[in-house]
Amino acid sequence: DIQLTQSPSSLSASVGDRVTITCRASQTISSYLNWSQQKPGKAPQLLISGASSLQSGVPSRFSGNRSGTDFTLTISSLQPEDVATYYCQQSYSSPLTFGPGTKVDIK
Amino acid sequence: QVQLQESGPGLVKPSETLSLTCTVSSGSIRSYYWSWIRQPPGKGLEWIGYIYYSGTTSYNPSLNSRLTISVDTSKNQFSLALNSVTAADTAVYFCARGGLWQPLDYWGQGSPVTVSS
């Protein structure tokens, strides 16, 4: 099974700050890495697919990047509505797996 | 805009079978993978399994022996059956479009299921 590790597990930042979350895969997954945002009591919402493709309707302050088996999600200017837990997920091979999540809140 | 809606009992007794159905609207079930994911209270997301519209399935190895996922293309529905449940199966169960090589791009709102006598 492909393991995904995320760092940090939580972070607190100020409005307007640049925030970066890292996801590392235990083996190659090409670019089959997706990022989702989950707010409390809600279903996850896909933000980025294929490591760097922003989904329609997602603010442009969100971006994704890949370097080998390391992936990053960046929020260029943190907004209050970005308070949520962020999960990476690989769709390269079965069983599909999720990272443990990164909880983001406002300082 | 594709919409997914889970339906099924919110309470299941230990050792019984948990059954949920996901109805897909405003889009065809064809040419996609369809997944089930669950989230225990206060914990992260766990992929349960997926089915392709043609009927091909893949399951989480940790649940494989207790799990069946099926599809009914005529009703635009797919279903989950998890037998011999215990309290550890208590979770919010989500259905979603996507699976192998496809992102989970549309999700249902989630169906909370409690396993208790």
If you write DSSP's letter for every residue of B45-56 in order, what string do you get?
-EEEEEEETTS-
* B63-75: average pLDDT: 95
Query: pLDDT at position B27, please?
Result: 87
Q: φ and ψ at A51, to 5 degrees?
A: 75, -35
| Residue B18 · residue B48 · CB < 8 Å | no
Q: What mean pLDDT, rounded, does chain B reach? A: 96
pLDDT above 90 (res B4): yes
Strands B3-7 and A97-98: unpaired
Distance from CA of A88 to the nearest CA of B (A): 10
Q: At B51, list the tokens.
A: 């089915």
Q: Is A95 within 8 Å of B61 when comparing Cβ atoms?
A: yes
pLDDT per residue over A11-60, tens digit each?
999 999 999 999 999 999 999 999 999 999 999 999 999 999 999 999 99
Q: Is B101 within 8 Å of A32 when comparing Cβ atoms?
A: yes
Residue type, B92: V
For a pLDDT cut of 90, what percent of chain B falls above it? 95
In chain A, which ranges are continuous DSSP H helix?
Answer: none
Q: State the best of A48, A52, A96, A97 to mutate against chain B, taking most chain B CBs within 10 Å.
A: A96
| Residue A61 · residue A79 · CB < 8 Å | yes
Instruction: Please name the residue of chain B whose CA is at the shortest distance from the CA of residue A101.
Output: B44
Planar angle of CA A75, B41, B79, nearest 5 degrees: 95
pLDDT per residue over B19-66, tens digit each?
999 999 988 899 899 999 999 999 999 999 999 999 999 999 999 899
Query: pLDDT at position B31, please?
Result: 86
Chain A, chain B: beta-carbon pairs less than 8 Å apart: 61
Distance CA B101, CA A32 (A): 7
Evaluated on CA atoms B25, B28, B32, B33, the torsion sign reads positive
Pick from A7, A34, A14, A28: nearest CA to B102? A34
Distance from CA of B47 to the nearest CA of A (A): 6
* A56-72: average pLDDT: 98
Instruction: Tell me the C-alpha to C-alpha distance, in Å, between residue B14 and each of B17, B48, B58, B90.
Output: 8, 19, 25, 10
Q: Is B103 within 8 Å of A34 when comparing Cβ atoms?
A: yes
Paired with B79 in beta bridges are B21, B70
Nearest CB to A97; choose among B47, B58, B103: B47
